[in-house]
Amino acid sequence: MAATCKTCTDRIPSMSTELSRNERIKEASGYLRGTLAEGLSEVATGAITEDDQQLVKFHGMYLQDDRDLRPERTRKKLEKAFAFMIRLRMPGGVCTPDQWLRLDRIARDYANRTLRITTRQTFQYHGVIKSNLKATMQAIDAALLDTLAACGDVNRNVLAATNPHQSRAHRAAHALAKEISDYLLPKTPAYREIWLDGEKIAGGEEEVVEPIYGRTYLPRKFKIVVAVPPSNEVDVFAQDLGFIAILDAAGEIAGYNVTVGGGMGMTHGEPETFPRTADVMGFCAPEDAVKVAEAVVSVQRDWGDRANRKHARLKYTIEDRGLAAFLAEVERRLGKPLGAPRPFAFDGNGDRYGWTDGEDGLRHLTLFIENGRLRDIPGGPSLLTGMRRIAEVHKGEFRLTANQNVIIANVAPGDAPAIEALVRQHGLAMNASGLRRNAMACVALPTCGLALAESERYLPSLVAALEENLARHGLAEDDIVIRMTGCPNGCARPYLAEIGLVGKGPGRYNLYLGGAFDGSRMSKLYAEDVGHDDIVAALDPLFAAYAWRREPGERFSAFLIRDGRVAATTNGPDFHRNTGPLASRAAE
284 tagged catalytic: no
Provide the CA 313 distance to its chain's centre, in angstroms: 15
442 tagged catalytic: yes
Exactly one of 442, 524, 555, 565 is catalytic; name it.
442
306 tagged catalytic: no
Exactly one of 57, 156, 399, 524 is catalytic; name it.
156
Exactly one of 220, 223, 389, 399 is catalytic; name it.
223
555 tagged catalytic: no
DSSP string, 549-581: HPPTT--HHHHHHHTTSSPPP-SGGGGGSS-SS
Instruction: For residue 230, say if its preceding peptide bond is cis, omega within 30 degrees of 0.
Output: yes
Among 123, 145, 141, 150, which Cα is nearest to 58's?
A: 150
Exactly one of 120, 215, 220, 221 is catalytic; name it.
221
8 tagged catalytic: no
Phi-psi bin for 77: left (phi > 0), alpha (psi -120 to 50), beta? left
Provide the angle, in degrees to the nearest 10, between the axes of the packed helices 289-303 and 323-334: 120
Among 125, 118, 112, which Cα is nearest to 61's?
A: 125
Among 536, 531, 482, 539, which Cα is nearest to 510's?
A: 531
Exactly one of 33, 57, 87, 301 is catalytic; name it.
87
156 tagged catalytic: yes
b/e code 223-235 from CB counts within 10 Å (16+ = b): bbbbbbbebbbbb
- Using a 10 angstrom Cβ sphere, with 0-12 exposed, 13-18 middle and 19 or more buried, the burial of residue 188 is buried
- Provide the strand spans (E) within 104-191: 115-117, 123-128, 159-160
Whole-Å CA distances, 259 to 25, 216, 279, 312, 491:
31, 25, 5, 18, 19
Exactly one of 89, 352, 491, 565 is catalytic; name it.
491
Long-range contacts of 497-503 (CB under 8 A, 24+ apart): 497/440, 497/523, 498/523, 498/555, 498/556, 498/557, 499/539, 499/556, 501/459, 501/462, 501/535, 503/444, 503/451, 503/452, 503/453, 503/454, 503/455
State the amino acid at position 317 in one-letter form.
T
Exactly one of 215, 399, 487, 521 is catalytic; name it.
487
151 tagged catalytic: no
Exactly one of 301, 388, 448, 524 is catalytic; name it.
448
Among 47, 58, 48, which Cα is nearest to 22's?
A: 58
95 tagged catalytic: no
CA gap 571, 575 in Å, rounded:
6
Residues designated as active site:
87, 156, 221, 223, 442, 448, 487, 491
